[in-house]
Amino acid sequence: MIALLRKDILILRRSRLTVALLVLYPVAIALLIGLALSRGPAKPRVAVVNETTPGARVEVGGRSVDVSAYASQLFDQVEAVPTATRAQAVAKIQSGDVLAAVVIPHDIAARLSSDVSQAHLEVLYNGDALEQSLVQSSLNSALAQANLGFSEQIQRAAAQAIGLLLRGGNLGVLGAPPNLVGLGQIPALLRRVIAHQPPGPDREALERTLAFATFAAENLTLSKTVLQTISQPIAVETKLLHGRRTPLDTFAVVVAVAISEMFIGLLLAAGAVALEREEHVLGRLLRGAGSASGRARGVLVSRNALLAEKSLLSAVCAFAVAFAMLAGIGAFVSLDWSRVPLWLAALALAALAFAALGVSIGALAREVRAASLLAFLFSLPLAFLALVPSGSVGHGLYDAISAVSFVFPFKAALEALDAAVNQSSPGLPVSLVHLAALVALFGALARVGLRRLD
Amino acid sequence: MSPTTIPALSVSGLAMRYGEREALRDVSFEAGAGELVAVVGPNGAGKTTLLSILAGLQRPSAGSVSRAPDEVGWVPQQPALYAKLTVAENLALFARLERVADPDAAVDRMLEQTGLRERASDQLSRLSGGNRQRVNVAIGLLSRPPVLALDEPSTALDPGQRERLWSFIRDLAGEGTSVLFSTHDVAEVQRYAARALVLADGRLLFDGTPAEFLAAAGRERQSGDSGEDSAGVPGGGDFEDAFVSFLRARGER
């Protein structure tokens, strides 16, 4: 086994371009993925056509709001590109300068101030499905905030009016009589009048009026609470049930390191085993292993030793690069260095699991190129599936994704590394046991693959 | 093989089945020390299966082989070597894997024997097909096995390389190594082999010297079809015609 290991190291030393690609490519991919995950999406460029007259104001609930100032606040979730006319906005969309345009019509202030008619914004957009989705979600979010803002203003105005009706006094509305009696004061006034009224039809009429006034006053008080609820029907209260909140940047580090480790472990192990077959050496190395009982002498290397040698070599390389990456990124991102022994445990078992999957792919492939292609075809979708968050797809699909992710090492490696670096759940021991089981599973599959010697 | 000599290799009742298909059926023969035995037959006759069982690559369905795999040097059809390693590194690696007592001495011996000492530091990828095949054979000989099995050793070699390879193999036989080689080329059988084993459809149809084979083929052809042109069979001496006639007479193509 030592002789075989020395041979493989010698071949690696003589394949500098391959080794450089094997290390640089996954590191570059991992860094790109890490950057993509740690940064939010860029703001989409949206043309904003404000057709209202300069200085137009919306009067809502006794408050006056400048339409232009409100629009600029409204569109802070997009990169607003002020545009003079609708035609110019359309031209900008068609030329690809902007992804969408929002046209604020000239009568929006009047419609909003009327409190009775709905105001309309026109949204024009272009681009592919992803861009359309990004623009739509940004604009929908902005408009939802605007609608909420206006509904709060209207609710405040309505509540103020209800308060005046209940309390009485001067309503401040043109033509309304001064010092009006409040609805809340009427029951007490009526009770005093009724107390001096002899029994008879007039008293009965007054008592019926008192019952109505009491009922109306109580329900108007309730309606203020109802209006508050309508303006914000759902309030959000967040609680983390278990684990520790993982900052996005440190999670991105874990993803980047896991991807790099997977590529190196998988490709190196798959290539190393496939090379033995491609060079037609497998038969020479393993002959005797399949001969009749009593004739097992002459086996140069056992299948187990061959697989162990390839797995260890690949795992050590993947582990070294992954640890160097983690330590290097640790210079820029705040990581808890007291947990280094746990990092090492997670990286070591993850590297072994990736190498085990690699040797099983290599054992099935006839040549290095086929093994490398298979390794790529396996690793990229597996990494993608493991990153699909729960709730982002339907229950059935997520269960299927979880099952697939469970039987391949990427998700377990990611969880182990996340637990080691970020103390996230599930805990490190669970993930390590999972990885060890996958090492055994893929090691056994590789052994079956090596039954064919040609 | 002379009946008085002790066989270097004895094969008895060898059979190999792949599901319903029988690749070898009850094949038995012996080979003496220093004997050069050709295993010849059409495609799918079972030549490679026979040699790979002798080398320990496959487990036979039935039958026995007197030698363990470590006593049979194995030379596969395609050079089983590492292209990124030099000639000396390839030899040294396999000498260590074969647990040869003195690997350096074994490498030195094989470089001398193959005449590749001057190319010892060259990577395999820079060698010609003929030289690669010589290294391939040399690796089969590292542990000085009493029996050497070569699977179509001269395929893809030019006539010059082929001549040098056969000279090397004949020297080996001269030193006492029993050599079994498979081939499609019946001319090679006639020129180099001391004995021919003719296989077809997994059965051993003939075991004897090339001269005996020509005689047998000629007799069958003359008795079976006296009206045909018999030129090329004994005493015409065309081995290929005799081989084709021999197989055709047994329903093989």
d(CA B218, CA B232): 9
Q: At what angle do helices A409-422 and A428-449 cross, to 10 degrees?
A: 150
- Inter-chain contacts counted by CB atoms under 8 A, chains A and B: 88
Look at residues B189, B208, B227 and tell me which one is the last residue of a structural domain.
Answer: B208
Confidence of residue A248 (pLDDT cuts 50, 70, 90): low
Whether residue B71 and residue A298 make contact (CB cut-off 8 A), yes or no, is yes
> Are residues B198 and B235 both part of a single domain?
no
Q: Same domain for B232 and B140?
A: no
Q: Are strands B195-200 and B36-40 parallel, antiparallel or unpaired?
A: parallel
pLDDT at A126 over 60: yes
Q: In this predicted structure, what is the pLDDT of residue A295?
A: 41
Query: What pTM was computed for the model?
Result: 0.68
From A17, A58, A72, select the one nearest A150 (Cα to Cα).
A58
Q: Which residues does A32 contact at the CB level (< 8 Å), separation at least 6? A: none
Cis peptide before B235 (omega within 30 of 0): yes
> B52 touching A, CB under 8 A?
yes
Burial degree of A206 (CB within 10 A; 0-12, 13-18, 19+) = middle
Residue of A nearest to B61 (CA): A292
H-helix segments, A330-451: 340-364, 368-386, 395-406, 409-422, 428-449
Provide the CATH number for the domain around residue B190.
3.40.50.300
The alpha-carbon gap from B152 to the nearest alpha carbon of chain A, in Å, equals 15
What is the Cα–Cα distance from A250 to A412, expressed in whole angstroms?
17
pLDDT tens across A206-219, in order? 888 888 888 888 88
Whether B2 maps to a domain, the answer reads no
Name residues whose C-beta falls within 8 Å of residue B147's C-beta, 6 or more positions apart in sequence: B8, B9, B31, B54, B67, B71, B72, B73, B177, B178, B179, B180
Helix (H, G, I), strand (E, B) or coil at B23: strand
Residue intervals in chain A for CATH 3.40.1710.10: 45-168
Q: Does residue B1 fall inside a structural domain?
A: no
What average pLDDT is seen over chain A?
Answer: 80
Nearest residue on chain A to B84, alpha-carbon basis = A11
Flag whether residue B65 sits within 8 Å of chain A, measured between CB atoms: yes
Q: Tell whether A11 is within 8 A of chain B (Cβ).
A: yes
Are B170 and B245 in the same domain?
A: no
CB contact under 8 A, B57 and A290: yes
B163/A225: higher pLDDT: B163
φ, ψ of residue B36 in degrees (nearest 5): -105, 105
Q: Check whether A246 has a pLDDT greater than 60.
A: no
Do B107 and B196 have their domain in common?
A: yes
Q: What is the rounded distance in angstroms from the CA atom of residue A150 to the CA atom of residue A159?
A: 14
Per-residue pLDDT tens over the stretch B220-236: 766 665 444 444 444 44
Residue A307: what pLDDT?
A: 93
CA distances from A76 to A55, A89, A350, A363 (A): 20, 18, 43, 56
Are B132 and B21 members of one domain? yes
Q: From the candidates A6, A281, A303, A366, which should be mutated to test the interface with B, based on the most B CB atoms within 10 A?
A: A281
Residues B119 and B159 in one domain: yes
Beta carbons within 10 angstroms of residue A48's beta carbon = 21
* CB-based burial label for A419 (10 Å; 0-12, 13-18, 19+): buried
Answer whether A453's CB lies under 8 Å from A309's CB: no
pLDDT-wise least confident of A127-131, A264-268, A278-282, B59-63: A127-131
Comparing C-alpha atoms, which of A303, A340, A337, A314 is closest to residue A446? A303
Share of chain B above pLDDT 90, in %: 23
Of A108-117, A163-172, B133-142, where does mean pLDDT reach its minimum? A108-117
The C-alpha of A414 sits at a distance from chain B's nearest C-alpha, in angstroms, of 36
Same domain, B122 and B145: yes
Of residues A334 and A312, more confidence is placed in A312
| A265-317: pLDDT as tens digits | 999 999 999 999 999 888 888 886 654 444 455 677 888 899 999 999 999 99
Mean pLDDT of B47-72: 87
Q: Are B253 and B193 found together in one domain?
A: no
Confidence of residue A434 (pLDDT cuts 50, 70, 90): very high
Interchain proximity A279–B55, CB inside 8 Å: no
Say whether both B20 and B38 belong to one domain. yes
Are B250 and B163 found together in one domain? no
Distance from C-alpha of B168 to C-alpha of A418, rounded to nearest angstrom: 62
In this prediction, residue A385 carries a pLDDT of 85
What mean pLDDT is predicted for residues A35-42?
A: 62
Are B252 and B178 contained in the same domain? no
Q: Is residue B51 part of a domain?
A: yes
Which domain does B58 fall in, by range?
7-208
The nearest alpha carbon in chain A to B52 belongs to: A287
Chain A contact for B44, CB < 8 A? no
> Is residue A344 over pLDDT 90?
yes
- What is the rounded CA–CA span in Å between residue A315 and residue A5? 13
Suggest the residue from A4, A279, A302 to mutate for an interface test with chain B (most B CBs closer than 10 A): A279
Question: Looking at the predicted structure, is the pLDDT value of residue A439 above 90?
Answer: yes
Task: Say whether domain A45-168 belongs to CATH 3.40.1710.10.
Answer: yes
Residues B133 and B215 in one domain: no
pLDDT band at B121; cut points 50, 70, 90: very high
Overall domain count for chain B: 2
Assign B18 a pLDDT band (cuts: 50, 70, 90).
Answer: confident
Residues facing residue B200 across a β-bridge: B203
Q: Are A353 and A411 in contact (CB under 8 A)?
A: no
Between vectors from CA B90 to CA B86 and to CA B96, what angle results, nearest 5°? 140
pLDDT of residue B116: 86
Question: Would you say residue A230 has pLDDT above 70?
Answer: no
| B37 within domain boundaries | yes
Average pLDDT over residues A317-322: 91
The pLDDT score that the predictor gives to residue A241 is 53
Residue B126 touches partner A, C-beta closer than 8 Å: no
